[in-house]
Amino acid sequence: MDDNSTGTIPESTIDPDAPRPTSDPNTPHPRIDATASESATDADRSITLLARGSRTRALCKALCYRVLMLLTTVGIALGVTGDPSVAIDIGLATTIIKTATYYGYERLWNAV
């Protein structure tokens, strides 16, 4: 057994090139920060674009959610009406109305 009673890892076993854990959320992770290396690959760049907290990621998530909800509404309307044309009209109308309503709701909350 090691006589290291402090519970720390001896310096000789630490890889100096290994990324260090940090408690600072603003410190970029080496695999996510594609700008840290001039030889960043396309995959690294796409990871950076969709990094947690980025506006691009939020926009991507919002658009994906709206498409999912549009398809859900069209599917339900098709099941109720049996008419694909009416179902698509209902889906598009609800998407436009819900998006405009949500925008107004957000603007109202910004005024409070």
Report pLDDT digits (tens) over 16-30. 666 665 566 666 555
Per-residue confidence in pLDDT tens, the chain, 112 aa: 555 555 665 655 666 666 665 566 666 555 555 555 555 566 666 667 778 778 888 888 889 999 999 999 999 999 999 999 999 999 999 999 999 999 999 999 888 8
pLDDT at res. 56? 86
Domain ranges of the chain: 57-111
- 5 vs 8, 9, 11, 61, 90, CA distance in Å? 8, 10, 14, 49, 70
High-pLDDT (> 70) share of the chain, %: 58
Query: What is the pTM (predicted TM-score) of this model?
Result: 0.53
DSSP secondary structure of 11-49? GGGS-TTSPPP-S-TTSPPTTT-GGG-TT--HHHHHHHH
Say how far apart CA 98 and CA 104 lie, in whole Å: 10
